[in-house]
Structure 1
Amino acid sequence: MTAHALSDSWTMTRRELDRWARQPVRVVVGMVFPVMLLLMFGYLVGGGRGVSGDYVDYLVPGMLALTMAFGLEGTMIAVTEDLDKGVVDRFRAMPMADGAVLVGRSAADMLQSALGLALLIAVGYALGWRPDCGPGAFLGALGLLLLLRFAMLWIGIHLALVAGKPEMVAAVQILVWPVGFLSNAFADPATMPGWLGPPVEWNPMSQTATAVRDLFGGPGGEPGHLWTAVLWPLALLAVFFPLAVRRFTRLNR
């Protein structure tokens, strides 16, 4: 990437960060919602089905993985609002590197995701969660989580470009909830009906959650899931990143 493209991408990233200052409620709600889920399942629904060991040690890594799918509606709304208001058209008419708008949007989203992870980890510590691992494994777990988020982010960008209008986002984001909860974030798939267990186990979020639990040294972790936790996001990126870029370059053609 040339210096010109990097400069344009940084300009777009700063624009998205400035949007945070203008819309702080949306940012705060997006970061607090996973915390509410963690507290609700940790205290109100706590116990877990088929989980050996401390349920909080099982729950926190699962929530960290699940959070990587939630919050995409913020990305989708931001993209569709820019499309609907003609902002993207004005950017495309300027001498700006192709894709700088998408790079800026993704960079700002990843920064918000990193802050959200830090907040959720702090709440997990307050609940009594203690990872039993070294710094390398801890950073590796965070890397797996952010890789999943990066893949989910480009799915969201592509769907936003397809939807085109903010009012269409609600219809699309409904799909996030079944896919998100159809995972092992809250319960062991072995306790689920036989027909449901395999799809839950192969959910990308389940693969990441299982690998992260292993790296954190908690219950429910299996070392064999590390590679699938890497390959799933890479496969999603291989599909949706070029789709999003191609959709963006063909706008209004």
Structure 2
Amino acid sequence: MSSQAHSIVMLRRNFTHIGRNPTSVFNAVLMPIVIMLMFVYMFGKAFSVGVDYIDYATPGLMLLAVCYGLGSTATAVNSDMTKGIINRFKAMDVSRGAVLTGHVIATVLTNLVAIAALTGVAFALGFSPSASALDWLGVLGMIVLLGFAAGWFTVALGLFAKSPETAGLAAVPLVMLPFFSSAIVPADKMGPGLREFAEYQPFTPIIETLRGLLNGAPSGRDAITAIAWCVLIAAIGYLWARSTFNKRA
């Protein structure tokens, strides 16, 4: 069986596990929607962002939807390592790369489902983007690239952790990082120190790229920076994951 076929088998296995774990489904799909409802209805009128708050917040919440599913990915990867599943796969001559790739692809597809649900709720709340069909393709591409990068980095975290519990905790900083970006409020409205951190951290240019695309006015500078960050994070995650996997397996 080819490596590609092995990856498809691993992907089906991962989706079966996700379907049997309601907590992971809630975290990945429903929790971002809960946060959207909370910010739009509870805090939306407290923020002065120059546009309807739902239009401002939706791009940042899309990124948050990507991050909220990462904890279950890290836990699943670590469980495979610590519970002897990898050794069984080795005995079955399953490609090592397929095990990791299956987790990453499952993460990306779960992200797309979560963001589709989130976008549907955003439209119900009055979201009115000015994006053209080409802009929407750009949004999709940015989300896939982000999910791919975050997926590999999370797989690396899961492999590096000593137990499933610590693997889940290791992904928490990735979940919190969007709150210290331009996702909820513009960076220039933050205090000194936090403002500079928000401006130069990886998620802000990604959010601003999504925001520009959805507004029909994408920024080439933000897009280049966002793509560069995603490629860097993906490369670090991939190399770290393969190195750790080879040592532990």
TM-score range, shorter chain: over 0.9
Instruction: Give, in whole Å, the separation in 2 of the partners of 1:170 and 1:242.
Output: 21
**Partner of residue 240, structure 1:** 237
Deviation at 1:249, TM superposition (A): 1.5
Counterpart code for 2:164: P
What secondary structure, in the 3-state scheme, does the structure 1 residue paired with 2:67 have?
coil
Counterpart code for 2:79: E
Q: Deviations over 1:52-81 (max 9, x none)?
A: 111111011111122222211010111112
Instruction: Give, in whole Å, the separation in 1 of the partners of 2:235 and 2:168.
Output: 26
Instruction: Give, in whole Å, the separation in 1 of the partners of 2:216 and 2:131.
Output: 9
Q: Deviations over 1:132-157 (max 9, x none)?
A: 02111011012112211211111111
Conservation of the 8 A alpha-carbon contact between 2:24 and 2:69: no
Q: How does 1:137-156 map to 2 (within 5 A)?
A: 137-156=135-154
Tell me, yes or no, if structure 1 residue 225 matches structure 2 residue 222. Answer: yes
The structure that is helix-richer by fraction is 2
Instruction: Give, in whole Å, the separation in 1 of the partners of 2:2 and 2:39.
Output: 47
Q: Which of the numbers 15, 25, 36 marks the counterpart of 1:17?
A: 15
Deviation at 1:235, TM superposition (A): 0.9
Q: Deviations over 1:9-64 (max 9, x none)?
A: 11111111221332244323421000000110010011354411111110111111
Quick one: structure 1 residues 214 and 48, their matched pair in 2 at CA, closer, same or farther if it must change by over 3 Å? farther
Instruction: Give, in whole Å, the separation in 2 of the partners of 1:87 and 1:58.
Output: 44
Q: How does 1:76-225 map to 2 (within 5 A)?
A: 76-217=74-215, 222-225=219-222
Instruction: Give, in whole Å, the separation in 2 of the partners of 1:75 and 1:216.
Output: 28
Counterpart code for 1:134: S
Give TM-score scaled by structure 1 length.
0.92
Give TM-score scaled by structure 2 length.
0.93
Q: How does 1:42-81 map to 2 (within 5 A)?
A: 42-47=40-45, 49-81=47-79
Deviation at 1:164, TM superposition (A): 3.2
Q: Deviations over 1:217-243 (max 9, x none)?
A: 179x74421111111100111212111
Conservation of the 8 A alpha-carbon contact between 1:58 and 1:213: yes
Residues 237-246 or 183-192, more deviating = 237-246
Instruction: Give, in whole Å, the separation in 2 of the partners of 1:47 and 1:222.
Output: 27
Deviation at 1:108, TM superposition (A): 1.3
Count of aligned pairs: 249
Conservation of the 8 A alpha-carbon contact between 2:157 and 2:171: no
Conservation of the 8 A alpha-carbon contact between 2:138 and 2:213: yes
Q: Which of the numbers 228, 246, 251 marks the counterpart of 2:248?
A: 251
5+ long unaligned stretches in structure 2? none
**Partner of residue 27, structure 1:** 25
What secondary structure, in the 3-state scheme, does the structure 1 residue paired with 2:45 have?
coil
Counterpart code for 2:134: G
Of all paired residues, the percent bearing the same amino acid is 31
Instruction: Give, in whole Å, the separation in 1 of the partners of 2:23 and 2:171.
Output: 19
Q: Deviations over 1:150-208 (max 9, x none)?
A: 11111111111010311212432332344221111000111111222122012222111
Conservation of the 8 A alpha-carbon contact between 2:3 and 2:98: yes
Counterpart code for 1:241: Y
Instruction: Give, in whole Å, the separation in 2 of the partners of 1:51 and 1:247.
Output: 44
**Partner of residue 34, structure 2:** 36
Quick one: structure 1 residues 184 and 37, their matched pair in 2 at CA, closer, same or farther if it must change by over 3 Å? same
